């Protein structure tokens, strides 16, 4: 399984990447929408974890664009702003985490969304 982590906070991105790698995932990191789009063109991803506020765009628009290309993509939206999470839900991106979050919360969502089990 392969994941793309899109977050301009390098520390968050690295923690998530290491965590997923320890759980058997191949994880790539992208700090911007543009680099995420480039990465997506280069590889096949099963999971997208994206912040909403990115330096060159909106993680919600990114997620919606990638879902058009790959409807089976699992998307987890993360943000420290509750309004962003509400916007995500209104856009049909219901799997959200409020920053800061515990890695166990992420694990539960991944297990539920990617494997259908908890």
Q: How many angstroms separate the CA atoms of 58 and 118, rounded?
A: 30
**For the chain, which domains are there?**
2-115 (3.40.50.2300)
| 43 pLDDT tier (thresholds 50, 70, 90) | confident
| 117 pLDDT tier (thresholds 50, 70, 90) | very low
pLDDT digits (tens, 9 = 90+) for 58-108: 999 999 999 999 999 999 999 999 999 999 999 999 999 999 999 999 999
- E-state strands within 16-109: 26-30, 47-51, 53-54, 57-58, 74-79, 96-98
| 116 pLDDT tier (thresholds 50, 70, 90) | low
How much is the average pLDDT of 1-10?
Answer: 97
Question: Full-prediction pTM beyond 0.85?
Answer: yes
């Amino acid at each position: 399984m392969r994941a793309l982590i899109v977050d301009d906070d390098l520390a968050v991105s690295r923690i998530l990447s290491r965590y997923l790698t320890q759980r058997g995932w191949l994880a790539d990191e992208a700090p911007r929408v543009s680099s995420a789009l480039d990465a997506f063109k280069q590889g096949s991803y099963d999971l997208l974890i994206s912040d909403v506020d990115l330096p060159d765009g909106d993680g919600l628009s990114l997620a919606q664009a990638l879902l058009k290309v790959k409807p089976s993509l699992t998307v987890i939206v993360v943000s420290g702003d509750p309004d962003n999470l509400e916007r995500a839900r209104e856009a049909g991106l219901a799997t959200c985490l409020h920053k800061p979050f515990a890695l166990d919360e992420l694990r539960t969502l991944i297990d539920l969304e990617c494997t259908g089990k908890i």
